[in-house]
Structure 1
Amino acid sequence: MTAPERSARTATADELCRAAYDDCHGPEVGVALVAVGGYGRGELAPHSDLDVVLVHDADVDPGGVAEKVWYPLWDSGSRLDHSVRSLPQMVAAAEEDLKVALGLLDVRHLAGDPNLTLRLRATMLAAWRREARERLPALRELVQRRHDVVGELAHVSVPDIKEAEGGLRDATVLKALEATWLVDVSGPELERSRQALLDFRDLVHAQARRPTDRVAPEMWDALAADLGLADAAAAQRHVREIGRRVTHLSRLTWRRVGSVLARPSSVRDARRPALEPIARGVALSRGEVVLDAHARPDRDPVLLLRAAAAAAERDVVLAPATAARLARESAPLPVPWPGEARDALVSLLASGDGLLPVWETLEETGALAGFLPEWERIRLLPHASPIHRFTVDRHVVETCVEASRLIRAVARPDVLLVAALLHDIGKGDLTEHSVAGEPIARAIAGRMGFDDHAVDLVALLVRWHLLLSETATSRDPDDPATVDAVLSKVPTAEALAQLLALTEADGRAASAKAWSSWRAALVTRLATQALARTGEGEAPVDADRAVPVPDVVRRGGTWVGVEPDEGGARVTVMAPDRVGLLADAAAVLALQRVPVRSARAWAQEDGAAVVGVSVWEVAEPDLDPAVLRERLAAVSEGRLDATGRLARPAPSRLEPVVAVRHGESRRATVLEVRMDDRPGVVHLVCAALADHDISVRSAHVSTVGPQAVDVFYLQEQGAGRLSDERAAEAAHAVRGALLGTVAEQGA
C-alpha cells in the first residue's frame, strides 16, 4: 500500500464528512467541520479512526448540527473520534494538553466555514511558535516517558510502529519541532522514512484486519511477502532500519533544540556563525562539530576520526552534513593506520555517553564504512538470546560505553576498548561467534596498527569474552580445577584483568539480568581466584565459611535468614547437619515458586556439633523468613509432601540429560543436569542424591532459553569425590527421578 492509496482513502472519508455536514444543513459561516491528527495529515490507514471536530465561533450556536452530523458517519461503519468545541475552547484545550496542541497543528478543513478553519489553524501555529521555548521541555519529557515505556523500534521484539522510539509518533513530533522555526529537520530524509513507515502500517492493518500498530511475531512472514522481501528476517531489518533512521533524526533534533534553548531568546544568531577551533581542521559552531575553512579531507585521512572524537569527547553533535562530506571526500586511511588515527579511535570509544549519538551519525551517513567495513556484518543483527535489550550492533556500542567507565582498572585501556568494539564481530556466522570473531578481530587490530602483543591480546579477549561469565555461573569458582580451566585459556594477569573488565562491560550493556549482583560476585570471585594463582592478586576471603551460628540452631532448631539483594535476595538456611537438608531447602523455595540462581552448601563445625549451611541466590526480593522456616519444618517433618507436589510439573518435550563431568573438580564429582526450566528440579535432584547418602556441596543453577543447566558438586558423607561406581549410581538415580517425572506426565 502506498501514499496514493492513503490519499484515496482520505478523499473518500472527506466526501463522506462533507455529505454528512450538508445533509444536516450545517451553517456556512461561524461553524466548520475539521479533521485533526492523522486524518488531518491525510494519513488514514485501512482501519484508522476519523478524528473530527465540529468547531464554532464563541457567539455561534451550532444547533442541531452538533447532534445530527455524526449519525451518517456512524451508519457508514467508519470508526469515529469526534467532539464539539468553540474556538476559545480549542485554544484553551491546546494550552492545557500538549497532545491536543500537537494534533491541532494538522487541522484541515472538511466542511462549513473555511475562514473559521483558517483562523483556527493560524491561531494554533502562532501560539505554538510563540510558546515553543516554554513548551518544548515538557514535550521532551512526554516523549522520553513514552520511549521508556514502549522501547525502541529498532530493538524491541514486538515493535509498535506508532508509539516506539523511532516510530510514527516521533516523526510527527519532529514535524512539530520544525514548525516552531527554532530548528531545522532533514525534511526529505524524514519524509521518506515517515512515508515508508506509513506504508508498512497499512500492511499491518491489512494483515491484522483491525486497527493495530504492534507487529506480532507471526505476522513477519506475510509482511515480508507483501514487501517483496526474502523472509521475515529481511522484513524486520527493513522496518528496524527505518526506525533507527527516525531515531537518529529525533535525537539529533532534540540535541539541537537543547542548544537553542540554552541560548537566551534575546540573542540572535549571526548570519555567519563563529567557528571555535577545537582540533586540526575541526571547529565548533552552534554546538555542532564542523570543518573549518582550512580543512582538506582529501589530504587528511584522519580528519573523520579526529572530528568524531572531538564531538564525542565534548558530547556535542557531529554535524551530519560534515560526516557525509567526510565519507565522500576523505582520503583512505593507510594500512597500518598512523598512530594519530588509532589514538583518535580510542578517544572516540573512551568518550562514554557521548559515543552513541556520534556513532549513530557515522552509521547513518555512511562514514563508518570508511574505517570499519566489517561493521556491516552485525548491523541491525538481532540477538538470539532474549537477555539482550538491543540488536548486536547497538549492544556493542553500549559495551564500549560501559568499558569506558572501567579503563582505570586495566593497564592497556586501548586494548579493552577495541576488544569491546570487536567482541561480537563474529555474530551472524554459522560457527560459534567468539571462534568466528577471533580472526576477524585480529585482522582489524592489525590493520589499525596495534603492536603484536596488543593484537594477540585483542584476539584473545574476543575469543574468550564469555569464559568468565559462563564458567562462574556453571562451575564452582572456588574449585582449583575451575581456576585451572580458566588459566589454561587466559594465562596471564594482564589478560585476566582485561577479561574481567570486558565481561562486566558486556554484561552491563546486555541487561540488568545479565549483570546482576549475584552474577557479578561469582565472576569477580572466579577472576580473583585466577589472579591470585598467577601471583598478581590475593585470593578472596571466603565469606561463606564459618558464618555465625544462631542459638536456635545450637538447640537443634532451624534458622532462615533473608537478605535483600539487587533484583532478588540471598536466603541462608542453617540447621544441624543431615543428609537431605539441601533437598528440603530447595523444596521450600520451589513450592514458593521462587527462581533459584545459585546455591552453595557446606558443613561447619560448631563445638562438638556439625551445622549444615546453605546459601541461595534467588530472584524474588520479597520473602518472609518466618514463612520459609515454617515450610521447611513442615517438609522436614513429613507434614508436607514436597516431592509428590513437585513431581507433577508441566509436560516436558525432551528427556532430561544427566552427565558426570570427569576432571572438572579436584575435590568433588561434578554432575550436570539439563532439562526444561521449571520449579523443583533442584529439589528432585538433591532428594534423589540424599536417598543414596550422597552430599551436595554446591549447586550452580542457570537458564539458557527454556532449558535449565544445573551443575551439582557431589561428595561422599565425610569424604571427598565419589568413586566411578558411585558417580554412575548418582547419575542413574537422578536420571530416574527426572524421567519418572516425565513418565508420570505422559501417563
Structure 2
Amino acid sequence: MSASDRARRTAEADALCAQAYRDSGGPEEGAALVAVGGYGRSEMAPSSDLDVVLVSEEGVDVRKVAEQVWYPLWDSGTKLDHSVRTFPEMLAAADNDLKVALGLLDVRHLAGDPNLTLRLRTTMLAHWRKSSRDRLPALHRMVTGRHELVGELAHLSVPDIKEAEGGIRDATVLKALVATWLVDVPHVELERSRLALLDVRDVLQETAGRATDRIAPEMWSDLAHGLGLADARAGQAHVRELGRRITHLSHLTWRRVEDVLARPASYAKARRPDLTPIAPGVALAAGEVVLDRGARPAEDPMLLLRAAAEAAERDIVLSPATAARLAREGVPIEAPWPSEARRLLVRLLASGRGLLGVWETLEETGALLRALPEWERIRLLPHASAIHRFTVDRHVVETCIEASALIRHVGRPDVLMVAALLHDIGKGSLTEHSVAGEPIARSIAERMGFEAESVDLIARLVRWHLLLSETATTRDPDDPATVELITSKVETTETLDLLLALTEADAKAASPKAWSSWRSGLIRDLARRARTVLDSGVALSPIVTDDIEIPRDVRSGSASITVEKAVDGTRVTVIAPDRVGLLADFAAMFALQRIPVRAARAWAQEQYGVSVWEVGEEDLDPAVLRQRYEAVVGGRVEAARKLRQASSVVELDPAVVVRPEASDLATVLEVRAADRPGVVFVVCSTLADMDIAVRSAHVDTLGPQAVDVFYLQEASAGALSDTRAAEAAHAVRAALTSVGDG
C-alpha cells in the first residue's frame, strides 16, 4: 500500500463521479460536483466513503440532477456521503459547524463548472483565514475533547489511528492550522508522518477486510507484514512512533497558536523577533526558548540542559530548531558531570507539567540521546501490565512530574528526581526490571557526577522501588516479618522517605487505581511502622485491633455489615464470630452479587472475624448483603455451583505459591489469578474444607490480575507443616483451575 494505491482509488472514484454527472445532464455552468474531506485530499482508503457535494449558484435548480447522480453511484456499490447545497448554503454550513468548515478546506473539482469550484475553494480558504482568530479556541476545545475521549495513539492498547491523539485527524487539523497563516508547522515532518499513517490505515483495512481504524492486538503481526516490517513488535513501534511525532507537532503548534491569540490582532511579527536574554546563551523570542545571539554550542556543553530547564520551568516551547541545532553542534558533557550540569538536570526534571512538552522536543530532535543514550532502551516500550496508561518512556516522564510535587517531603530532592527518571530503565530486560535497572542506574548516576553515597542511594531506590507497594498490599503488617523485610532493604529514614515519595509518584503516573485511598493508606501505614523501627529499633504494636469496635449484636452471636462511602469507591466492613469458613462466606456474599472486589483485608480480633472490603459498586444496601450472607450460611444458596456456572474460561493458569520467608507465625499462601468474581471465595472455601484457618487475608486487584495473600494456621493454631502447606497449595490451584474451566 502506498500513495500510488490511494491515487489509483481516487482516480477510479473521480471517473465514476464524473461519468455520473455527465449522464445526469448536469449543467456545465452554475453547478459543480465537488469532493470534500479525505476524498477531497485524494486520500481514498480501501473502505473510504465518497464524500461529495453538489453545489450550485442561487437560482440554479439541481434537484433532478442530484437524483440522477446519486443512483448510479449507489448502484456501483460505492459508499456515498452526499449533500446538495447552494453557494451561500455552503458558507452558512461552514459558519455553523467546525467539522464542515474543516472538510471544505479540501474542496476538489469533480465535474461541472470548474470556475464555481475554484471560487468556492478560494472563498472557503479566505473565510477560514479571516475568521480563524474567533474559531480556533473552539477548534482547540473540540480537539482536546476528542483526545480525552479516545486517548493517545502512542499509548493505547487498541489504538485508533484516525481519532486518537496523534492520529490522522490531528494531522488534518494541523494542515488547517497552517491554512490560517497564523502559525507554521514543520511541513516535511508532518507530511512524512501523515502519509505513513495513511499507509498504515490502507494495510489495516485490507487486512481486516472492512472499514476500521482500530488495531486490535491480534492484528499487529499481519499489519507489520503488510508494511514490510519484521514482526508485531516492529509494527507497534512504527505506529506508535508516528503517533508520538504527530502528537509532538500538535502540542508545539497549539502552543504557538495560544501565543499568537494572546497578542493583539494588529501585531505583526518583526522580520527578526526580539530576543530577551533569560540565561547565559539562552533567550526568549516569540514565546519560545531559543539561543541568544553569540551563543556558541561548540564551546558551552551546558547550553542544551540550560535551555531545556528554562523552557520547562516557564512551561513554554523549547524551539525544535534550537534543540536540533544543539543536538548537531553541541559538545557532550564530559563525565563525570560538573555540579552545574546536575543542577540543571534536576531543575528540568522537577519543573512539573512543563517537563512534558520540552521532553517531547528533546526526544523528537535527537537531543535527548546526547545526554542520556540509555533512554533508547525504553523508548516506545509497551508496558506488560494493563494497569499502565502509557508506554514505559512516557510513564517515566509522568513519574518525574508527579515526583516534582513531593520534593519538599524529602531531604534529597535531586536523588528523588534522578531515581524517578531511572526507576524503570531496566524494563525490556529478560530479568526482573528492578534488578536489571540497578546497575544501569548506578552507571548513569556515576557519569552524572554524584558522590558515591548518592550513587548507592539512587541505585537502591531503583532496585527496591516496588518494595513498599508490593509488601503493603500482599503482607500482614502486624507480622514482625513484614516490617523486617522493609527495614532490611531500607536502612535509614532518609531512604524510606525517598522510597515512599518514589512509590507515590510511580503509582500516580501508572493509573489512579494504583494510588487509591485504600492502597495509599496501606503503603503509608507500612512506611510509618518501618520508620518507627528505624528510629527506635522497636517495632510498632499492632494497631488494627484498636481501630475496630466489636458491635454488641456481634458479641451476642450475630453478624454486622456496614457500608460507607470511600474516596474512590465503597467500603464494606463485616464482623462476625470467628470460625473456619467465615471468610469464604463473606467472599461468597460479594461474588454472588457480582460485586467487584478491588481490595480487602481480613483478620481475627479476639474471638471475632473482621474483614474490610473495598468494592467497585456504589449505593450498596447492607440489608441486601445481609440477606445474601444469611442465605449462604443457611445453605439456601450453593455458592460453589452458582459461581462455577457463571465463570468463563481463563487464559492463564493461576499461580499458587507458598512463601515460607514471609512469616514465622503462619504459613503464607500467595495466589495470582485472573480477576473474576469468586476468586477469594474459592480459595477460602477450599481451605475451610481442609479445616485450615485463614488468620488474615490481603486481597488486591490491579488491572486484570488479582494478587491475594492468605496467612494460614491450623484450626488448632500454629503454622502448617511443609506437607500440609503443599497440599493446601495444590488444592487451591486445582479448585481455581476447575472454576476457570467451568
CA deviation after TM superposition for structure 1 residue 527, in Å: 1.4
CA deviation after TM superposition for structure 1 residue 612, in Å: 3.2
Gaps spanning 5+ residues in structure 2: where? none
The letter of the residue matching 2:170 is D
Superposition pairs of residues 210-359 of structure 1, within 5 angstroms: 210-359=210-359
Q: Is 2:592 the partner of 1:595?
A: no
CA deviation after TM superposition for structure 1 residue 674, in Å: 4.1
More displaced stretch, 572-581 vs 329-338: 572-581
2:680 to 679, 682, 694: 682
Superposition pairs of residues 122-521 of structure 1, within 5 angstroms: 122-521=122-521
Superposition pairs of residues 551-630 of structure 1, within 5 angstroms: 551-604=552-605, 610-630=607-627
CA deviation after TM superposition for structure 1 residue 666, in Å: 3.9
Preserved contact between residue 671 and residue 731 of structure 1 (Cα < 8 Å): no
CA deviation after TM superposition for structure 1 residue 490, in Å: 1.7
Q: Note the alpha carbon deviations across 1:87-122, whole angstroms, 9 max, x for none.
A: 111111111110000000101111111121122112
Preserved contact between residue 679 and residue 736 of structure 2 (Cα < 8 Å): no
Separation of aligned partners in 1, 2:391 and 2:274: 39
User: Structure 1's 411 and 326: CA in aligned 2 closer, same or farther, altered over 3 A?
Assistant: same
CA deviation after TM superposition for structure 1 residue 485, in Å: 1.1
The letter of the residue matching 2:593 is Q
More displaced stretch, 266-275 vs 521-530: 266-275
Preserved contact between residue 567 and residue 620 of structure 1 (Cα < 8 Å): no
User: Structure 1's 42 and 255: CA in aligned 2 closer, same or farther, altered over 3 A?
Assistant: same
Separation of aligned partners in 2, 1:652 and 1:306: 52
Report the 3-state secondary structure (helix = DSSP H, G, I; strand = E; otherwise coil) of the residue aligned with 1:109: strand
Q: Is 2:33 the partner of 1:38?
A: no
User: Structure 1's 393 and 690: CA in aligned 2 closer, same or farther, altered over 3 A?
Assistant: same
Q: Is 2:76 the partner of 1:81?
A: no
More displaced stretch, 467-476 vs 662-671: 662-671
Alignment match, 2:630? 633
Separation of aligned partners in 2, 1:213 and 1:593: 34
Q: CA RMSD for the aligned pairs?
A: 2.2
Preserved contact between residue 694 and residue 713 of structure 2 (Cα < 8 Å): yes
CA deviation after TM superposition for structure 1 residue 740, in Å: 5.1
CA deviation after TM superposition for structure 1 residue 626, in Å: 1.5
The letter of the residue matching 1:522 is L
Separation of aligned partners in 1, 2:361 and 2:522: 38
CA deviation after TM superposition for structure 1 residue 738, in Å: 5.3
Report the 3-state secondary structure (helix = DSSP H, G, I; strand = E; otherwise coil) of the residue aligned with 2:52: strand
CA deviation after TM superposition for structure 1 residue 208, in Å: 1.5
Q: Note the alpha carbon deviations across 1:278-297, whole angstroms, 9 max, x for none.
A: 10010111110011102111
More displaced stretch, 529-538 vs 24-33: 529-538
Preserved contact between residue 529 and residue 539 of structure 1 (Cα < 8 Å): yes
Aligned length: 740
Gaps spanning 5+ residues in structure 1: where? none
Report the 3-state secondary structure (helix = DSSP H, G, I; strand = E; otherwise coil) of the residue aligned with 2:505: helix
Superposition pairs of residues 707-746 of structure 1, within 5 angstroms: 708-715=706-713, 721-722=718-719, 724=721, 728-729=723-724, 732-733=727-728, 735-736=730-731, 739=734, 742=737
Preserved contact between residue 102 and residue 176 of structure 2 (Cα < 8 Å): yes
CA deviation after TM superposition for structure 1 residue 661, in Å: 2.6
The letter of the residue matching 2:351 is S
More displaced stretch, 589-598 vs 163-172: 589-598
2:700 to 692, 699, 702: 702
CA deviation after TM superposition for structure 1 residue 435, in Å: 1.1
CA deviation after TM superposition for structure 1 residue 84, in Å: 0.4
Preserved contact between residue 327 and residue 370 of structure 2 (Cα < 8 Å): yes
Preserved contact between residue 105 and residue 121 of structure 2 (Cα < 8 Å): yes
Preserved contact between residue 682 and residue 735 of structure 2 (Cα < 8 Å): no
Q: Note the alpha carbon deviations across 1:578-613, whole angstroms, 9 max, x for none.
A: 4432221111011122233433334445xxxx5432
Preserved contact between residue 528 and residue 540 of structure 1 (Cα < 8 Å): no
The letter of the residue matching 1:696 is V
Separation of aligned partners in 2, 1:36 and 1:295: 48
Preserved contact between residue 597 and residue 700 of structure 1 (Cα < 8 Å): no
User: Structure 1's 10 and 539: CA in aligned 2 closer, same or farther, altered over 3 A?
Assistant: same
User: Structure 1's 675 and 361: CA in aligned 2 closer, same or farther, altered over 3 A?
Assistant: closer
Report the 3-state secondary structure (helix = DSSP H, G, I; strand = E; otherwise coil) of the residue aligned with 2:284: strand
Preserved contact between residue 336 and residue 447 of structure 1 (Cα < 8 Å): yes
CA deviation after TM superposition for structure 1 residue 5, in Å: 2.1
Separation of aligned partners in 2, 1:744 and 1:601: 23
User: Structure 1's 77 and 688: CA in aligned 2 closer, same or farther, altered over 3 A?
Assistant: closer
Separation of aligned partners in 2, 1:448 and 1:730: 49
CA deviation after TM superposition for structure 1 residue 272, in Å: 2.2
Separation of aligned partners in 1, 2:682 and 2:37: 59
User: Structure 1's 653 and 314: CA in aligned 2 closer, same or farther, altered over 3 A?
Assistant: closer
CA deviation after TM superposition for structure 1 residue 654, in Å: 6.7
CA deviation after TM superposition for structure 1 residue 184, in Å: 0.7
Separation of aligned partners in 1, 2:718 and 2:214: 55
Preserved contact between residue 665 and residue 719 of structure 2 (Cα < 8 Å): no
Report the 3-state secondary structure (helix = DSSP H, G, I; strand = E; otherwise coil) of the residue aligned with 1:145: helix
Alignment match, 1:673? 671
Q: Note the alpha carbon deviations across 1:292-338, whole angstroms, 9 max, x for none.
A: 10211111000000000000000000000000011111112111111
Report the 3-state secondary structure (helix = DSSP H, G, I; strand = E; otherwise coil) of the residue aligned with 2:106: coil
Separation of aligned partners in 2, 1:710 and 1:72: 64
Separation of aligned partners in 2, 1:744 and 1:129: 64
Separation of aligned partners in 1, 2:734 and 2:4: 62
CA deviation after TM superposition for structure 1 residue 268, in Å: 2.5
Preserved contact between residue 55 and residue 86 of structure 1 (Cα < 8 Å): yes
Report the 3-state secondary structure (helix = DSSP H, G, I; strand = E; otherwise coil) of the residue aligned with 1:105: helix
CA deviation after TM superposition for structure 1 residue 350, in Å: 0.3
Preserved contact between residue 381 and residue 393 of structure 1 (Cα < 8 Å): yes
The letter of the residue matching 2:680 is V
Separation of aligned partners in 2, 1:317 and 1:540: 53
Preserved contact between residue 689 and residue 734 of structure 1 (Cα < 8 Å): no
Separation of aligned partners in 2, 1:462 and 1:125: 54
Separation of aligned partners in 2, 1:674 and 1:314: 46
Separation of aligned partners in 1, 2:735 and 2:239: 47
CA deviation after TM superposition for structure 1 residue 8, in Å: 2.0
CA deviation after TM superposition for structure 1 residue 742, in Å: 4.5
Alignment match, 1:117? 117
Alignment match, 1:545? 546
Preserved contact between residue 156 and residue 390 of structure 2 (Cα < 8 Å): yes
Alignment match, 1:25? 25
Q: Note the alpha carbon deviations across 1:233-285, whole angstroms, 9 max, x for none.
A: 10111111111111100000000001111112123232222111110010111
Separation of aligned partners in 2, 1:170 and 1:511: 25
Report the TM-score when normalising by structure 2: 0.95
CA deviation after TM superposition for structure 1 residue 704, in Å: 7.4
Q: Note the alpha carbon deviations across 1:331-387, whole angstroms, 9 max, x for none.
A: 121111111111100000000000000000000011011110110111111111111
Separation of aligned partners in 2, 1:275 and 1:575: 74
CA deviation after TM superposition for structure 1 residue 83, in Å: 0.6
Report the TM-score when normalising by structure 1: 0.95
Report the 3-state secondary structure (helix = DSSP H, G, I; strand = E; otherwise coil) of the residue aligned with 1:297: coil
Report the 3-state secondary structure (helix = DSSP H, G, I; strand = E; otherwise coil) of the residue aligned with 2:500: helix
CA deviation after TM superposition for structure 1 residue 564, in Å: 2.3
CA deviation after TM superposition for structure 1 residue 707, in Å: 5.3
More displaced stretch, 570-579 vs 120-129: 570-579
